[in-house]
Amino acid sequence: MKDAATALANDGKFRDPQVTADGQPRAHVPLSRPETLWFNTGTLCNITCVNCYIESSPENDRLVYMTEAEVRDYLDQLETRGWPVREIGFTGGEPFMNPEMCAMARAALDRGYDVLILTNAMRPMMRPNVQNALRALIEEYGDRLTLRISVDHWSAQHHDEERGTGAFEKTLAGMAWLRDAGARMTVAGRSLWNETETEARDGYRAFYAANRFAIDADNPAETVIFPEMDMRVEVPEITTACWGILGKSPDDVMCASSRMVVKRKGAPRPTVLSCTLLPYDPQFEMGETLEEAERDVALNHPHCAKFCVLGGASCSG
């Protein structure tokens, strides 16, 4: 069921997983190179952002806390299925709201995976017990652990427009603590303010220099500037012919290389989704096991077109 804004902007589109509105065969993406397995740690967050794609907030518990035991089960499945995954990612909500966040990260690091945690670096991460556990992980595993910090804009003014007054300073304090603890950090920004990419990266470069953050503003893997996912904007459907027209391959799209595990409120077990960006759309739910999640994904949503194919974005490290 698509929301009203999507239906209005893309009237008649994204209805049939097999064909587009004009009858052309819809593009599908096989899981051709599994590199990242994501876990959503829960949708609860310490703040409410203006444009959160997953609607995280202090009240939203539609996706409940993942547990260390559940993560270990999927790590076992990775080995059983032989997926050549190199990275385990954790997103939320705010992952450090989950009391088992550091234990889940350790479980993945112990198996030899790199770990990426997406965080706002605010109060949940700064609790003493979390700091102690996180410092131990940093000391033991070094650069195999990366924390990607949400810094929507390099200026306090624009960042706080999205996340609330004072949010920038709190995140800056968390980043300073991570810097001093020797953590590897990257940044996720957003393209909301009509800046050119050059202007945005210049702003982040100055921000990093002023705070002695060892982050490369020009490396898109270290400073990720995500295209916005505005559901009110009309986007084209992606057909099988688009790969040749655009000079792209299905291998370039995020669902060719990743899956995400979530646990819905009231559900007895977690389930696997094809996409980190679409946690509530049932057509992207693939089953409870990684084996079930090995099937192709129909690009049957505006985010598939704008964010992944045309925007070329990826949530992985």
Residues whose CB is less than 8 angstroms from the CB of residue 247 and which lie 6 or more positions away in sequence, other chains included: none
pLDDT digits (tens, 9 = 90+) for 281-302: 999 999 999 999 999 999 999 8
Average pLDDT over residues 182-188: 98
Check residue 235 and give its pLDDT: 86
Domain boundaries, the chain: 31-235+250-298
Mean pLDDT of 135-163: 97
Across the range 258-285, mean pLDDT stands at 95
Quick one: 31-235+250-298 is in which CATH superfamily?
Aldolase class I (3.20.20.70)
3-7, 276-280, 300-304: the lowest-pLDDT one: 3-7
Spell out the alpha helix ranges (H) of 117-166: 123-126, 128-141, 156-163
How crowded is residue 264: how many other Cβ atoms within 10 Å of its Cβ?
16
Count the neighbouring beta carbons within 10 Å of the beta carbon of residue 232: 11
292/90 Cα distance (integer angstroms)? 21
Question: In terms of Cα–Cα distance, which of 256, 164, 158 is closest to 200?
Answer: 158
Q: Residue 89's beta-bridge partner residues?
A: 38, 116
What is the model's pLDDT at position 194? 86
pLDDT recorded at residue 315: 56
0.75 surpassed by pTM: yes
Between CA 154 and CA 158 the distance in angstroms is 8
Backbone angles phi and psi of 186, in degrees to 5: -130, 175
pLDDT per position as a tens digit, 220-233: 999 999 877 666 67
- Whether 57 has a pLDDT exceeding 80, the answer reads yes
